[in-house]
Structure 1
Amino acid sequence: MTSSAPRRTVLAAALAAAAGAAAPLAHAAAPTATTPRAAGRRSKSLVDYHAWTTAADWSTGRADGTRVTRGPRPGVRIATPAGTVDYQDPHSGKTATWEYAIWTSPVHTLAVPATEAVASWNAHTPPGTWIAVELRGTYSDGGHTPWYVMGRWTAGDGDADIRRTSVDGQQDGKSSVSTDTLAVDAPASGLRLTAYALRLTLFRTPGTTRTPTVWRLGAMGSDIPDRFEVPASRPGTVGRELAVPRYSQEIHKGQYPEYDNGGEAWCSPTSSQMIIEYWGRRPTAADLAWVNPDYADPQVCHAARHTFDHQYKGCGNWPFNAAYAATYQDLQAVVTRLGSLTDAERLIHVGIPVITSQSFLATELDGAGYGTSGHLMTIVGFTENGDVIANDPASPDDPAVRHVYRRREFENIWLRTKRYDAKGQVKSGSGGVCYLYFPVRPTPGQQRVLAELGVR
């Protein structure tokens, strides 16, 4: 197979254009007081994932037209709109008026001063509603980033909906946003993000009672050192393999050009769909009625359509995949980073698969048979000697999706931040990025391991 297209867009817009693109659709007051550091976080971790999920969490934020919903899955929704705003959708060309309300988080002080930050969220957005997630960082020199748009998102794409989108061209001379990742431009200078706040704007068609509901809102800050090789981990648990469905992205090659043409472009939604179905959720027959009946695995087509980022023009937006997974009943999802395959083993041991992002040459992963500049696959288990059992969607058909990859090779291509491409040029790696999908009510063992890895 040919290598996958890079999942990051190149930031090329001028600063003036960036300022216009990044301007918030609605004004909100400054963030409120600092959130205490979460108890029990591993002291040596290079990652700080923090989220607002409980009624007590949501009550700490500043509300402008929102209210906290309680019950088994607390969240925020529109109570009384704060006002209206016109939004011209850059992808549909339509301009519409929307009612909005705003929730602004407290400032979260990062346990790990960060070079990068990725926001993610779980929400319900009925037709005619959508959300915007923004992040404002505090620099170690005392300054602040603008309110960067980290995503404009809705689950649907009907006539009443906007087109879900990232926002290109956001930068301030110190940091910039590439699709879904805020990064300090010159980390070697020592500049870091020491804190951040998130601003959530909820929109709906005026005069209706419909409202988005957001159940989880968080961000992962990290300071992963530049490295071509990572320390090797030793197998830490007895081998186990989870019964995860196997789907190939390659059987969809050429399908739905409007959603990036299937095949190698669909690794992320194909991986997401495998894990969604592992947890016993799947689209209904009505959900899939739009798919050509001649196509196998129509749920993969559905996942591609509903993770598609109209600015990125692809299905590889990390938080959009997590948000899609969380549209299924009682599932939640986060984007974070792990520190080793030992962390992944612990998750597998309690029944949680791990979707990983990696880039590599064909010679760097024995048995893959391809190279890629950006690819998602799923860790579904480990052999008795600690090698990785992966559902790799870059396979010719569904039965061929199961692979066993050498532990050392897999760990290095996943966790490194620098690599050489086929021309010998230095390129970036994901630094251990993963998606974690798990139930709203995890088992005590799952809850414990997630918490120990910084996910609550």
Structure 2
Amino acid sequence: MKKGLKSALAIVLVCLIAGIPVQTFARHAKTSGKESDHTYIISSAKEFSTGTLQNVTIHQRPGDGALTLKKLHGGYARDGMFVSPEISTDPFEYLIASWNSDTPVGTHVEIQVRALVQHYNADNEQVKDWSTWRTWGKWGTNIKRSSVSDKSDPLAYVDVDTFTVRGSRGETADKFQIRALLHTDNPQATPTVRLLSASTELGWGTMSQHPTTIKLNKDIETPAYSQMIRDPKIAHSICSPTTITMALNRMGEQLLLEEAALRNYDFDYEGFGNWAFSAALAGSYGYKSYSIFTDLDGLKREIKAGYPVAVSVRYTNDPLNTRYPYVEGAPGTTPGHLILVRGFETIDGQDYVIVNDSFAPSDDTAVRKYKVDQFQKAWSNGVAYSVHSKEKGGAGDSAAKRIHADLRPTSSENEYGLYVGKKKIEIPANFTADVSPLTEQSGTLAYTISDGKKYATDAHKKFYYTHETSDGNISLNVNQLELDLNGKSAKLTLYVLSTTGDNYVATLELNKKHNSH
């Protein structure tokens, strides 16, 4: 029986009701298209050359190879397409796709898959037919990113982030094709696709229960954050972007949790838990990232190679709760959540997995050790993703960046205007409103106040949250903040973070004579 969730992957990332240097996951692509028993990656110029191209050009850089729109008459073609060869697989019921791309303003990509499905016809005979092309929706860092809720095909459908073969009589597929659609509204800009991947599985969660054969004692130091102390309107549901932030900041980025979350938001699913979008977000910063079905040995190979791994879990810390798997030392009870596996350790003969669990009440308590046998039961679907090293040659150059701005006092007390040069940046009405679903005008206004302490990353600092005013300004009670500082000087750093628009950062000196308000 197929999963009837929206989606079996994404729904676990609703999160909290209580709130290739080293071959790891998959061997790299061969010209035949098959790389391992169940995971397939196309990410080099040679691999892209095995497909069919329409208004698309293959380049040696960035990374090991990439696709862009073809230049026609001095500008880029408006639309282009790459179609992979037919890829033979073992029989599968589920497929998760990933992509890494750069999408400058005015561009987006769309990834689609079709599969050859063995099913029963009207005469009750087993036959094979191709499904229609099923889509993961349009994706870009500056657009209204949306998966597509379309179950019109009788053979297969994509539910948010998971391609599922229809049927209840053992229907499976044994071939698939993946294609990338590239689009631009600006003839001087093109999206770039650096990686396409697909991972398949027969039977939901069967791989995660495989016994482990690898012994490993290793912990990868990785920034650990609690999602529970972030912007209150989204804190309960941002486990996936929080986990991505941990992995990216380990690589040297300085992302904030809300910054990643708002760019991870799926406007159709109305949530932050689309796995494909999470991997694509990491890819947009230039990193190689993709999702797969795997087992404990797969996780250990990643850790051994130096990469923490994101996995989805469901658990309870109450041994009397029989609804969810019991995990000793977990922060609470959750029907679906994402954590970052950072290591394995054996203590007195007991095997433990070391994780960053954002369900923790504070950053300081987010690093946890769970017994492996309990963790394995909680990790029931076998889905994981990792963030590998940043690719060279310009990968990630079009990632969403913060624009430096100025805060200027207005005629109203404790209201500040945001300016870039002489241009005032109007903060949209209801920008910080606690609404569901979020809109293209939604965002977060967060700020920190310097306290003389050193932090491992910017995201470890204490954050405060404010709101916009009716005049499109920002409410900052500087009078009270300065009183609270007891005359000490400090720097306020404000972050303006949005779902689709520009992000800004601005500073304000507190308890300085030139501050008039």
Aligned match of 2:40: 50
2:220 touches 2:342 (CA, 8 Å); kept in 1?
yes
Identity %: 26
CA distance in 2, matches of 1:52, 1:226: 25
Change (3 A) 1:8 1:320: closer
Q: How does 1:166-185 map to 2 (within 5 A)?
A: 166-185=147-166
Matched, 1:196 2:180: no
> Is contact 1:391–1:401 with CA below 8 Å preserved after alignment?
yes
Contact 2:94-2:204 at 8 Å conserved across structures: no
Report the Cα distance in structure 1 between the residues aligned to 2:72 and 2:141, rounded to whole angstroms.
21
> For the structure 1 residues 305 and 229, does the alpha-carbon distance in structure 2 shift closer, same or farther, using more than 3 Å as the test?
closer
Which piece of structure 1 moves more, 70-79 or 271-280?
A: 70-79
Task: Tell me how far 1:317 sits from its aligned partner.
Answer: 0.4
Say whether the 8 Å CA contact 1:253–1:264 is kept in structure 2.
no
- Answer yes or no: is 1:100 the counterpart of 2:79: yes
What is the alpha-carbon distance in structure 2 between the residues aligned to residue 279 and residue 108 of structure 1?
33
Deviations 1:381-440 (A, max 9, x none): 1122420111000011111100111110101221x3xxxxxxxxxxxxxx2101111015
Equivalent of residue 312 in structure 2, options 357, 378, 384 = 357
In the alignment, is residue 266 of structure 1 matched against residue 266 of structure 2? no
Corresponding residue for residue 432 of structure 1? 382
What is the match of residue 107 of structure 2? 129
Q: What secondary structure, in the 3-state scheme, does the structure 1 residue paired with 2:238 have?
A: helix
Q: 1:107 Cα deviation (Å)?
A: 1.2
In the alignment, the residues of structure 2 paired with residue 306 and residue 335 of structure 1 have an alpha-carbon distance, to the nearest angstrom, of: 18
2:344–2:353 contact (8 Å) kept in structure 1? yes
Q: Which residue number corresponds to residue 424 of structure 2?
A: none
Aligned to 2:230: 252
For residues 316 and 225 of structure 1, the distance between their equivalents in structure 2, rounded to whole angstroms, comes to 18
- 1:81, distance to aligned residue in structure 2 (A): 6.7
* Higher radius of gyration, 1 or 2: 2
Contact 2:208–2:376, Cα closer than 8 Å, also in 1: no
Structure 2 CA distance for partners of 1:344 and 1:165, relative to 1, 3 Å: same
Q: Does the 8 Å CA contact 1:6/1:374 hold for their aligned counterparts?
A: no
Which residue number in structure 1 is paired with residue 197 of structure 2?
218
Question: Could you tell me which amino acid in structure 1 is paired with residue 270 of structure 2?
Answer: K
Matched residues in 2 for 1:228 and 1:75: separation? 31
Please state which structure has a larger fraction of its residues in helix. Answer: 1
Aligned mates of 1:337, 1:177 — CA distance in 2: 16
Question: CA–CA distance in 1 between the matches of 2:300 and 2:50?
Answer: 35
**Deviation at residue 198 of structure 1 after TM alignment:** 1.4
1:76 aligns to what? 67
SS at match of 1:315: coil
Q: TM-score, normalised by structure 2?
A: 0.63
135 and 372 in structure 1: CA distance in 2 versus 1, 3 angstrom threshold = same
Q: Which runs of 5+ in 1 are unaligned?
A: 11-33, 83-97, 157-161, 255-260, 284-298, 417-430, 443-456
State the distance in 2 between where 1:180 and 1:76 align: 23
- 1:189 Cα deviation (Å)? 1.5
Structure with greater contact order relative to length (CA < 8 Å, sep ≥ 6): 1
- SS across alignment from 2:373: helix
Matched, 1:61 2:51: yes
User: Post-superposition shift, 1:226?
Assistant: 6.5
Aligned length: 347
Distance 1:81 1:135, change over 3 A: farther
Distance 2:205 2:259 in 1: 37
Aligned CA distance change for structure 1 residues 212 and 226 (closer, same or farther; 3 Å): closer
Distance (whole Å) between structure 2 residues aligned to residue 435 and residue 226 of structure 1: 15
Aligned pairs for 1:399-438 (under 5 A) are 399-414=364-379, 416=380, 431-438=381-388
TM-superposed CA distance for 1:105, in Å, is 1.3
RMSD between aligned residues: 2.6
8 A Cα contact 1:165 1:311, kept in partner = yes
What does the per-residue CA deviation read over 1:135-162, in whole Å, with 9 as the maximum and x for residues that have no partner? 1111133101111111210012xxxxx3
Q: SS of the counterpart of 2:46?
A: helix
Gaps of 5+ in 2: 1-6, 13-29, 119-126, 320-325, 393-517
Distance in structure 1 (CA, Å) of the matches to 2:205 and 2:258: 36
Q: Give me the whole-angstrom Cα distance separating, in 2, the residues matched to 1:196 and 1:221.
A: 10
Superimposed CA distance per residue, residues 39-98 of structure 1 (whole angstroms, 9 cap, x where no aligned partner):
6x3xxx5xx11121111111111111111111352111111479xxxxxxxxxxxxxxx9
**Given the two structures, how large is their TM-score scaled by the length of structure 1?**
0.71
Cα deviation, residue 185, structure 1 = 2.6
Do the aligned residues in 2 keep the contact of 1:125 with 1:155 (CA within 8 Å)?
yes
Question: Aligned runs of 1:302-341 on 2, under 5 Å?
Answer: 302-329=259-286, 331-339=287-295, 341=296
Work out which of the residue numbers 237, 244, 256 in structure 1 matches 2:215. Answer: 237
Q: Which letter does structure 2 place at the counterpart of 1:357?
A: S
Deviation at 1:169, TM superposition (A): 2.5
